[in-house]
A and B are shown apart, each in its own frame.
Chain A
Amino acid sequence: AQKITQTQPGMFVQEKEAVTLDCTYDTSDQSYGLFWYKQPSSGEMIFLIYQGSYDEQNATEGRYSLNFQKARKSANLVISASQLGDSAMYFCAMSNTNAGKSTFGDGTTLTVKP
């Protein structure tokens, strides 16, 4: 069974600063994928970034980077230069064979302060 743990229900960050959202996972699979999604107050789910378990380099997508530490089973999301529009709920998720049967964490609500 897969499990995702996000220990931060809420986080605050000052505009233009960097913030790290924590995610740890548990799985017995050797091959898996890790994802982060953003859910703004409007409700849609927006894909941010993906890391494969065999990828040696940390994934980056613009201001988003995934700090993947396989031995520690962590996949933290780093958002650099926070913007007011980054205020949203962020979900960490993992899947084994395909993206569909993804297990989601409970989410972290990020608030960016001006």
Chain B
Amino acid sequence: DTAVSQTPKYLVTQMGNDKSIKCEQNLGHDTMYWYKQDSKKFLKIMFSYNNKELIINETVPNRFSPKSPDKAHLNLHINSLELGDSAVYFCASTSGVKLFFGSGTQLSVL
């Protein structure tokens, strides 16, 4: 049973396209996140939702739009993809202390 699952695992697309990454957690956590890990392995938080409400929105281009239909899901939609968006995107959730991460989505923009 996967606790935090995100799809797809790999995403290869052309510049200018729009794409979505889906995330679901079955842990009953109220809070979910999107993190970006760049080619140098630096991890940075992008967004955080608590019970479907946006609570953290770091300096991220507005081409990135998270959507949380319910507290178990947090999807990430990216418009007009750019080369610099190539990275690994991690979804995560928590009930307080420990972050549980998804397995990551490797996005490659060509």
Contact = CB atoms under 8 A, between A and B. Distances in A.
A98 B33 CA distance: 12
Contacts of A106: 40-42
Interface in B79-93: 88, 90, 92
Contact of B101 (A44, A89, A101): A44
Range class of the A interface residue count: 20 to 34
Contact of B96 (A35, A43, A99): A99
A7 B62 CA distance: 34
Contacts of B104: 43-45
A52 to B, nearest CB: 8
Interface in A45-59: 45-47, 50
B105 to A, nearest CB: 10
A37 B41 CA distance: 13
Contacts of A20: none
A7 B43 CA distance: 16
A90 to B, nearest CB: 11
A1 to B, nearest CB: 13
Given A50-B98, A89-B41, A100 B92 contact: yes
Interface in B17-63: 31, 33, 40-45, 48, 56
B10 to A, nearest CB: 11
Interface in A29-80: 33, 35, 37, 39, 43-47, 50
A25 interface: no
Contacts of B96: 98-99
Interface string B59-87: 00000000000000000000000000000
- A-B pairs with the 9 shortest C-beta distances? A45-B101, A104-B43, A99-B94, A100-B48, A99-B99, A44-B103, A100-B33, A43-B104, A47-B98
Interface of A: 33, 35, 37, 39, 43-47, 50, 89, 91, 93, 98-102, 104, 106-107
11 contacts: A45-B99, A47-B98, A47-B101, A93-B43, A98-B31, A98-B94, A99-B96, A99-B98, A100-B94, A104-B44, A107-B41
